[in-house]
Structure 1
Amino acid sequence: MSDNHTTAIAKPAILDLLPDIPILGQRTAIRLQQQIDLILLTIESLEINAVEGMFTTARELGLDEIIKNRIVFWRLRCTNSWRRSYNRDILTLDQAKALVILASYRAKQLSLQIRQLLIAEQQMRDKGLPVDTNFLLSDYLERFRANFRSRMNPRRAKVSIYLASEDELNELSLILLNQLLFCTGTTGMQRFWVSLFDGAV
Structure 2
Amino acid sequence: MPLHSIAPESTARLPRRGLERLDLLLLSAEALDLNGGEAMVWMSEQMGFTTLFPNRVELWKRRCTNPLRRTTRREGLEPAETDALIRILCALADRLYPLLRGLLSSAEPPEVLSERWNLFRSRLADLVRQRMNLRRGGVQLLLDPESGARESRLLIQALALGSGVGGFERLRASLLDAQP
Alignment counterpart, residue 168 of structure 1, candidates 124, 129, 147: 147
Aligned positions of 1:4-15 closer than 5 A: 14-15=4-5
Query: CA contact under 8 A between 1:120 and 1:137: conserved in structure 2?
Result: no
Aligned positions of 1:54-73 closer than 5 A: 54-73=40-59
Structure 2 length-normalised TM: 0.88
What CA distance in whole angstroms lies between the structure 2 residues aligned with 1:149 and 1:171?
18
What is residue 156 of structure 1 aligned with on the other side?
136
When residues 107 and 172 of structure 1 are mapped into structure 2, their CA distance, relative to the original with a 3 A threshold, is same
Which stretches of structure 1, 4 residues or more, deviate above 4 A after TM superposition? 120-123
What is residue 83 of structure 2 aligned with on the other side?
97
Structure 2 stretches of 5 or more lacking a match? none
Deviation readout 1:5-39 (Å, 9 max, x if unpaired): xxxxxxx771552541322xxxx531221111011
Alignment counterpart, residue 165 of structure 2, candidates 183, 186, 197: 186
What is residue 26 of structure 2 aligned with on the other side?
40
Deviation readout 1:146-195 (Å, 9 max, x if unpaired): 111221112212223333x2222222111100100011132121121122
Same amino acid, percent of matched pairs: 27
Secondary structure (helix, strand or coil) at the match of 2:15 reads helix
- One-letter amino acid of the counterpart of residue 130, structure 2: S
Structure 1 stretches of 5 or more lacking a match? 1-11
What CA distance in whole angstroms lies between the structure 2 residues aligned with 1:39 and 1:85?
18
Structure with max Cα Rg: 1
Secondary structure (helix, strand or coil) at the match of 2:105 reads helix
Count how many residue pairs are aligned between Structure 1 and Structure 2. 179
Query: CA contact under 8 A between 2:21 and 2:178: conserved in structure 1?
Result: no
What CA distance in whole angstroms lies between the structure 2 residues aligned with 1:156 and 1:15?
37
Secondary structure (helix, strand or coil) at the match of 2:48 reads coil
Secondary structure (helix, strand or coil) at the match of 2:66 reads coil
- One-letter amino acid of the counterpart of residue 137, structure 1: W
Q: Deviation of residue 136 (structure 1)?
A: 2.3
What RMSD, in angstroms, separates the aligned Cα atoms of the two structures?
2.4
Deviation readout 1:43-76 (Å, 9 max, x if unpaired): 0000111111111111111112212212111111
